[in-house]
């Protein structure tokens, strides 16, 4: 299977794809520190910097699975929760890339807080009509949920989609870390303009990956030094500024063990 990741971070999805023995074709990540981590651990992948400027022409119709942990800041309870009004709301760019590349599968990830946010600038006004001969003057404003529009966007470009919430504790982590995962499948295979289906060989999974990961293995996002913010002053001689970048990158990362279970399921039914 050929895999490409958007908003790659330090490569949580790419690590899961590597465990699957898939080919990590490309990565798109704007953070320079994260790109250095990606370059070290996925040297065979082609790296791009900016999702908003990403030209897909070299990949159209050639990718089986696209993954994307798209920015959570517009939806996170730790932020201002501006939703689609936030300048970091990059779903439209993700949708553009999906529509152009037309992968068979898309796996998206975000914070669970996205489930209860509405579009700040979109509303529908409705007048009540209790009598047949006149329209009442009472107007109702109904705002649209962001998760609803994301699912509808998927469907409009030809994908069936289901959002599910899976916490990190589902694979044995010591913290809950609820995240919503969008699992989308292209109805009828590739887009009509790309008639061929990308072939792939059956993956023989290593036996050690078929069991659940021990809790300590949550640090298998390779290349990161882990620490608790606020407690570190000196970290084995490493500058504190570097440690902070590492903590930020790890905090923004997905749990690769969950992604692995999803990718394994995709592999079994493809």
SS3 call for 169: helix
**Closest of 7, 63, 62 to residue 38, by C-alpha:** 7
pLDDT band of 130, cuts 50, 70, 90: low
Asked whether residue 240 is assigned to any structural domain, the reply reads yes
Asked whether residue 48 is assigned to any structural domain, the reply reads yes
Asked whether residue 128 is assigned to any structural domain, the reply reads no
The predicted-structure confidence for 79-128, as pLDDT tens digits, reads as follows 444 444 444 568 888 999 999 999 999 999 988 877 776 665 555 555 66
Asked whether residue 126 is assigned to any structural domain, the reply reads no
DSSP secondary structure string, 218-232? GG-STTPPP--TTT-
**Closest of 244, 258, 119 to residue 178, by C-alpha:** 258
d(CA 260, CA 11): 12
d(CA 174, CA 13): 21
Arithmetic mean of pLDDT, 59-76 = 79
Q: Which two tokens stand for residue 244?
A: 């902070």
Q: Give the CATH number of the domain where residue 91 resides.
A: 3.40.50.150
- Judged against a pLDDT cut of 50, whether residue 40 lies above it is answered with yes
The predicted-structure confidence for 148-196, as pLDDT tens digits, reads as follows 888 999 999 999 999 999 998 988 888 888 889 999 999 765 544 343 3
Sign of CA dihedral 1, 43, 11, 68: negative
CB atoms within 10 A of CB 167: 15
Contact present, 47 and 27 (Cβ < 8 Å): yes
d(CA 2, CA 66): 9
d(CA 5, CA 66): 6
The mean pLDDT value of the chain amounts to 75
**Closest of 201, 147, 166, 143 to residue 23, by C-alpha:** 201
Asked whether residue 98 is assigned to any structural domain, the reply reads yes
Helix (H) or strand (E) holding 148: helix 146-156
Asked whether residue 262 is assigned to any structural domain, the reply reads yes
Q: CA distances (Å), 135 to each of 79, 130, 138, in order?
A: 42, 7, 9
Q: Where are the beta strands (DSSP E) in 159-227?
A: 159-166, 179-186
Asked whether residue 136 is assigned to any structural domain, the reply reads no
Domain residue limits at 20: 2-118+146-269
Give me the number of domains the chain comprises.
1
- Judged against a pLDDT cut of 90, whether residue 232 lies above it is answered with no
Asked whether residue 137 is assigned to any structural domain, the reply reads no
């Amino acid at each position: 299977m050929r895999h490409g990741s958007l908003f790659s971070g330090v490569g949580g999805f790419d690590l899961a794809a590597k465990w699957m023995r898939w080919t990590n074709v490309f990565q798109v990540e704007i953070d320079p520190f994260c790109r250095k981590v990606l370059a070290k651990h996925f040297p065979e992948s082609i790296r791009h910097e900016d999702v908003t400027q990403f030209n897909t022409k070299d990949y159209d119709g050639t990718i089986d699975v696209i993954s994307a942990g798209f920015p959570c800041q517009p939806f996170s309870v730790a932020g201002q929760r501006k939703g689609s009004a936030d300048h970091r709301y990059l779903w439209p760019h993700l949708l553009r890339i999906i529509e152009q590349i037309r992968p068979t599968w898309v796996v998206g990830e975000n914070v669970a807080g996205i489930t209860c946010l509405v579009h700040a600038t979109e509303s529908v006004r409705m007048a009540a009509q209790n009598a047949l001969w006149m329209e009442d003057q009472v107007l109702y404003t109904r705002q649209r949920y962001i998760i609803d529009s994301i699912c509808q966007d998927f469907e409009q470009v030809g994908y069936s989609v289901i959002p599910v919430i899976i916490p990190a504790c589902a694979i044995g982590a010591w913290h809950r870390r609820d995240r919503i995962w969008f699992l989308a499948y292209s109805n009828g295979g590739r887009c009509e303009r790309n008639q061929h289906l990308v072939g792939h060989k059956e993956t023989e999974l290593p036996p050690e990956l078929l069991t659940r990961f021990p809790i300590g293995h949550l640090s298998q996002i390779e290349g990161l030094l882990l620490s608790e913010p606020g407690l570190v002053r000196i970290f084995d001689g490493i500058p504190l500024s570097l440690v902070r970048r590492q903590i930020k990158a790890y905090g923004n990362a997905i749990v690769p063990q969950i992604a692995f279970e999803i990718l394994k399921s995709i592999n079994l039914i493809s």
